[in-house]
Amino acid sequence: MANTNKHRKDNIYIETYGCQMNFSDTEIVSSILINSGFSIINTPEDADAILLNTCSVRDNAERKIHERLIHLKRYKKQNKNLVIGILGCMAERLRKNLLEEERIVDLVAGPDEFRKVPQLIEDARTGTRGIAVKLSRVETYSDIEPLRTSGVFAWLSIMRGCDNFCSYCVVPYTRGRERSRSLESVVQEIEKLRDKGFREITLLGQNVNSYKDKQSGADFADLLAASAKAAPEIRFRYMTSHPVDMSDKLIETMSEYDNICKYIHLPVQSGSNRILDLMLRGYSVEHYLGRIKKIKELMPGCSISTDIIAGFPTETEEDHKATLRVIEEVGYDGAFMFKYSPREHTKAFALEDDVPDKEKVRRLNEIIELQHKIARELNNKEIGRLHTIVAESPSKKNPLEWMGRTDTNKVVVFPSLNGTKEGDLLNVKIHGSTSATLFGEII
């Protein structure tokens, strides 16, 4: 039978940039597109539409997208009907400027408008360039089953947006106000994943600690406990936490369940109280260290990672040294470290970006160097220890080796056995390490 609506068979290729929330969003928008009759493909060559799911958190993230668009012009020259779309944070931030300045962009859709993407593609195919960038107070996509490519590891978005308005951060403007899914819908999704044989679920949100189920009043600790109980054979991780909302109850809940991974990402951002105030983070260094103390008391082996910004406006050498001291005192297993990048519309944008770039780079390098030294020392202590890991994928460097993660989120590379496959639960003994990787042997 003739296909009456040929556009319904369009092939869509999506590229994802930025944080885990964006990767999770790509799975949601992919699912929406498939439900509308489109196909998702893995390479751009045969695509009828190329969508970039973008990040705005730092200037260099946006620059990458502008550069990618220059490359994509080539594809558009080869195929005049090719649709190019910008999704996510950059779509929300730049809105119609994107359509005006980037002539090859046909559609722009913000993070709360993914349901409109099928229609926007249809419109673009008939020559109408379109934009949808309304932010919502209720959209959580909780009825959409994300298109997951792994049958073992799942991202599960439990809330969207952020109400914290840290002074440097563009997220509350691009992702909108905070809203949580119901506990019931999250647990139902977990039960489905459990029945399909998934091994690991990461609960995601910009600030998961402020999760609140409006109906039952359940908080994040309640949700985590309900998740762990609903699927005892699944390991649970979560990110990201905010130090203000890192409650005793949450730490206690983590310590009570073996299937809640002993790993916490707790961004400190700076070790100086004056800078934390300017960042509008809402806590002091003392409060932060108190949370770390509690975590280490209740879960001695728990690994901790963080985010740090170097060169925030007015940051002095003394402030910078205070950050180095906190890094030393906590002993982070890992860190994401950034140079401050001014973002339009944020409160900090009004402050003069007065730390010269060269100085930001110097401070950042000092932070990175110290952090690597600490991680190397901590990983060195892992030698001789036993860990249970979930096999994740073949190692990129050597096809005879695989990688997986410990409960504490450390990457372990190990020689595979005949037939090692994604999802295998393996006991490994560690015999070597660097600052970023452990090396082990299956036992």
Contact positions vs ligand SF4 (CB under 6 A): 162, 164-166, 169, 171-172, 206-207, 242
Query: Which of ligand 5AD, ligand SF4, none does residue 437 bind (CB under 5 to 8 Å by kind)?
Result: none
309 binds ligand 5AD (CB under 6 A): yes
Peptide bond into 240 cis (omega under 30): yes
E strand or H helix that includes residue 404: strand 401-405
Cβ proximity of 163 and 206 under 8 Å: no
Rg (CA), the chain: 23
Binding segment for ligand 5AD (CB under 6 A), chosen from 64-72, 276-284, 339-347, 352-360, is 339-347
Q: How many CB atoms lie within 10 A of CB 388?
A: 12
Nearer to ligand 5AD, 169 or 413 (CB): 169
Amino acid sitting at position 20: Q
90 binds ligand 5AD (CB under 6 A): no
338 binds ligand 5AD (CB under 6 A): yes
Instruction: Give, as one character, the DSSP assignment of residue 215.
Output: T
Between CA 33 and CA 11 the distance in angstroms is 10
What are the φ/ψ torsions at residue 437 (nearest 5 degrees)?
-140, 145
Nearest approach, Cβ of residue 43 and ligand SF4 (Å): 32
- Footprint (CB under 6 A) of ligand 5AD, residues 364-383: none
Query: Which of ligand 5AD, ligand SF4, none does residue 206 bind (CB under 5 to 8 Å by kind)?
Result: ligand SF4
Between CA 51 and CA 83 the distance in angstroms is 8
x/- binding map, residues 26-65, to ligand 5AD, per CB under 6 A? -------------------------------xx-------
x/- binding map, residues 266-285, to ligand 5AD, per CB under 6 A? -x-x----------------
Structure-block tokens of residue 271: 């070790």
307 binds ligand 5AD (CB under 6 A): yes
x/- binding map, residues 229-268, to ligand 5AD, per CB under 6 A? --------------------------------------x-
Cβ proximity of 47 and 85 under 8 Å: no
Query: Which of ligand 5AD, ligand SF4, none does residue 259 bind (CB under 5 to 8 Å by kind)?
Result: none
Query: Which of ligand SF4, ligand 5AD, none does residue 172 bind (CB under 5 to 8 Å by kind)?
Result: ligand SF4
Cβ proximity of 95 and 63 under 8 Å: no
Q: Which residues of 99-120 are buried (b: 16+ CB within 10 A; e: fewer)?
A: beebeebbbbbbbbbbbbbbeb
Strand order in 49-54's β-sheet? 39-41, 11-16, 49-54, 83-88, 107-109, 130-132
Which of 340, 402, 414, 439 is close enough to bind ligand 5AD by CB under 6 A? Answer: 340
The closest residue (CB) to ligand 5AD is: 307
Nearest approach, Cβ of residue 225 and ligand SF4 (Å): 23
Classify the phi-psi angles of 266: left when phi > 0, otherwise alpha if psi is within -120 to 50, otherwise beta.
beta
Which residue, 35, 36, 37, 44, is CA-closest to 15? 44
Which of 169, 302, 355, 389 is close enough to bind ligand 5AD by CB under 6 A? Answer: 169
Q: State the residues that interact with ligand 5AD by CB under 6 A.
A: 57-58, 168-169, 267, 269, 307, 309, 338, 340-341, 343
